[in-house]
Structure 1
Amino acid sequence: MAKVVIHNSAFPALRSDPAIMKVLEDKAEAIAAAAGEGFTTDSHPGGNRGRVTVFADSFEGILAEARHGALSQAVGSG
């Protein structure tokens, strides 16, 4: 059986790769769209990994999450 060698130094580069960031941004935009009006996305290619955030950007979005869990329910739709 072949021995598997893992190069840990490659993981940070992979997690910040532009192609990976594009996939994450697409998924975040799908979640924001499923949550409805008042939600947007933000992305940051960071040190060890890229980060994508979906958040309420208006009072209506905050109310939709507080009253109906709009964003929480949309998370699985990405």
Structure 2
Amino acid sequence: MGMVKVRFFGRFAEEIARSVEMPIECGMTVAGLREALASRFGADQLLGARVLAAVDDRIVHDDLVLLSGQAVDLLAPLSGG
């Protein structure tokens, strides 16, 4: 088991936290991390299709396998007119 630092942006930073340390299991993907975070914080909005994830400052797909020590950013969808 390892740890990743998760940083939240946009409305997620206001609704959840600015950042948290989160344990990950071997083979955990970005999708699995999003599910674990949604469960931990009661934040189903993290599961939305328009949520962007970046790992070590690069936008990634949900099937990316995470490694201990990585930084994961979750960006809330933007709204506007």
Normalized per residue, the structure richer in strand is 2
Check whether TM > 0.5.
no
Higher relative contact order (CA 8 A, sep 6+): 2
Q: TM-score, normalised by structure 1?
A: 0.30
